[in-house]
Chains A and B, each alone.
Chain A
């Protein structure tokens, strides 16, 4: 069986690609799937840092391409589950889109999901990451500039052979949506005209550098669980990020 290969991209930098890649990885591994997260942000290894395993790195992507190790040897295991990360390493002439795709293909026989964490922008690294995938998730946050860039990337993606393209809306604040200060996830989905696979609330624990989906208790953990469900079952049931801000729970939250 070959793994589903999904690229996490955005256009605009800093909107949460690496956070989404890590959060989905944890949630799908917790559900029992075998998951490999690949850092395509070549020259800037972020993903191993986000997962807190940078100290355990022996080999990275460039070592595979320059035949210093086999692909499987460069995988770092995160926790008890079947969750692995492949660090990006340095940019080398051997790092062509074709070579990148080749390594991803060889890893696809050994797991259920491969997520490719795309670099910011739409330069060379973007093409390399997207052409190795057969599905894409475009991450945005509720800011006007991020949504505009997401729309541009969605147009660019129509030039690739992808079987599915969905969106993830990160850093939404239910309280601000209810008070009319922030666009709702439904509004953003209407503008971008793609299925919404994930909605992740603004969560202070993520900002503090804690890995999401670790204990299943924070709001973001719950949101990543729902996101992972959508990915695994190939549907787009929106996560109810407003429920925590309505009714009783919301009443106390608003007063806090």
Chain B
């Protein structure tokens, strides 16, 4: 038999946290695009993913991206 108790507990943990953090619609996409634009000056990007998961402390944010190439930058001289 399915354990509704566990299932409901986990569901509620998520619901209660997201009720508290209250992420507005479209918020994650705006942040994702910002990060994408920063990263794209250094990498030839294929894809950028962003996940915001409410947590007891507030939110856990995971960014992952993959790139096909690192852009060549003349950084050496600037650091002298």
A163–chain B nearest beta-carbon distance, Å: 24
Q: How far is the CB of B9 from chain A (nearest CB, A)?
A: 5
Residues of B within 8 A of A187 (CB): 5, 9
CB neighbours of A147 from chain B (8 A) = 12, 16
A103 interface hit (Cβ, 8 Å): no
Residues of B within 8 A of A180 (CB): 1, 3-6
The interface residues of chain A lying within 8 Å CB-to-CB of B8 are 144, 183
Which residue of chain A has its CB nearest to the CB of B13? A191
Residues of B within 8 A of A184 (CB): 5
Which 4 residue pairs across A and B have the least CB separation, nearest first?
Answer: A180-B3, A183-B5, A180-B5, A151-B16
B3, B5, B13, B15 interface centre (most CB from chain A within 10 Å): B5
Distance between B15 CB and nearest chain A CB, rounded to angstroms: 6
Q: Which residues of B contact A (CB under 8 A)?
A: 1, 3-6, 8-9, 11-13, 15-16, 19-20
Determine whether A4 belongs to the interface, using a CB cutoff of 8 Å to chain B: no
- B6-A191 in contact (CB<8A): no
**B3 surroundings in chain A (CB, below 8 A):** 180-181
Given A151-B19, A152-B19, decide whether A191 and B12 contact each other with a Cβ distance below 8 A.
yes
Which residues of A69-84 have CB atoms within 8 Å of chain B's CB atoms? none
**Chain A residues packing against B (C-beta within 8 Å):** 144, 147-148, 151-152, 155, 177, 179-184, 187, 191
Tell me if B19 and A183 are in contact (CB < 8 A): no
Give 7 new A-B contacts, CB below 8 A, not counting A148-B16, A183-B5, A187-B5: A144-B15, A147-B16, A179-B1, A180-B5, A181-B3, A183-B8, A183-B9
Determine if A191 and B5 form an interchain contact, defined as CB atoms under 8 angstroms apart: no
Which residues of chain B are near A179, meaning CB under 8 Å?
1
Q: Is the CB–CB distance between B15 and A148 below 8 Å?
A: yes
Q: Are B12 and A148 in contact (CB under 8 A)?
A: yes
Q: Which residue of B is nearest A190, CB measured?
A: B9
* Docked complex Cα distance between A155 and B20 (Å): 9
Cα of A152 to Cα of B20 in the assembled complex, Å: 9
Name B5's contact: one of A148, A151, A177 (CB within 8 Å). A177
* Nearest-Cβ distance from residue A223 to partner chain B, whole angstroms: 20
User: A142's closest neighbor in chain B, by CB?
Assistant: B8
Give the one of A152, A179, A180 with max B CB within 10 A: A180
